[in-house]
Amino acid sequence: MRVTIIGTGNMARAISARLLAGGHQVTFVATAWAKAEALADELRGEGEISPSETVDGEVVVLAVPYTQAPHAVRQHADALSSAIIIDPTNPVDFAALEPIRVELGSAAAVIEAAAPDGARVVKAFNTTLAGPLLAGHVAGQPLDVLLAGDDAAAKATVSQLVSDGGQRPIDVGELARARELEAMGYLHMRVQGPLGTFFDTSLKILTP
């Protein structure tokens, strides 16, 4: 499957590594062509990857800061009218390490409101930290990737992408659950200090 990733930062790199490991094709769309080209060059040995000016493909990942996500959606609206939009954003003020209060209850709801009618938003990857996701494991175990959305087929597609990349998808329900996923994402950052860890941890549901 061809997946476009908007953004070229930590999460763009980590999510693309998982997608490429799963045999999927990745296109980067950046704020500047040179940034997309540089990340594509860095990862080219891992699979089929290219820079682009335009969003293309059935699945689009918004690997941008929460504050930029609605703008990116509007900017690429023409290409998103039937797309699955993966939203990994966490509405957090990183300088203060405090949550940003969002309208509509969650960043995902704000993104859905900005998206064209036919787009299907799936919250995913917001509870996984970039370093562990890039590695694909913590303490020898694959990561749990919690996801939420209102469209079953879109969630099945995202779940398949996650498992193709060697991780465990867990469907937590409708897009309204993004609110709780964003709270989890925030708390996962917050506990780094008390744990003395360096954003190298993973949230895991242990099963008997």
Phi, psi of 121 (to 5 degrees): -90, 130
- Out of 88, 149, 165, 169, the residue judged to bind ligand NAP by CB under 6 A: 88
Establish if 202 lies at the interface with ligand NAP (CB under 6 A): no
Establish if 61 lies at the interface with ligand NAP (CB under 6 A): no
CA 13 to chain centre: 11
The Cα–Cα gap between 4 and 83 comes to 10
Q: Which tokens belong to 39?
A: 């990340």
Question: What residues form DSSP beta bridges with 170?
Answer: 146
- Out of 49, 59, 60, 72, the residue judged to bind ligand NAP by CB under 6 A: 72
Using CB under 6 A as the binding criterion, the count of chain residues that bind ligand NAP stands at 25
State the residue number with the nearest CB to ligand NAP: 9
Q: How far is the CB of 110 from ligand NAP (least distance, A)?
A: 12
Classify residue 28 as exposed, middle or buried by CB count within 10 Å of its CB (0-12, 13-18, 19+).
Answer: buried
For 53: left if phi > 0, alpha if psi spans -120 to 50, otherwise beta; the answer is alpha
Establish if 126 lies at the interface with ligand NAP (CB under 6 A): yes
Establish if 30 lies at the interface with ligand NAP (CB under 6 A): yes
Establish if 201 lies at the interface with ligand NAP (CB under 6 A): no
The residue behind tokens 């590695």 is 135
Contact 163, 169 (CB under 8 A): yes
Contact 138, 132 (CB under 8 A): yes
Q: How far is the CB of 65 from ligand NAP (least distance, A)?
A: 5
Nearer to ligand NAP, 55 or 154 (CB): 55
Nearer to ligand NAP, 61 or 154 (CB): 61
Contacts to ligand NAP by CB under 6 A? 6-12, 30-31, 35, 63-66, 68, 71-72, 88-90, 126, 129-130, 185, 199
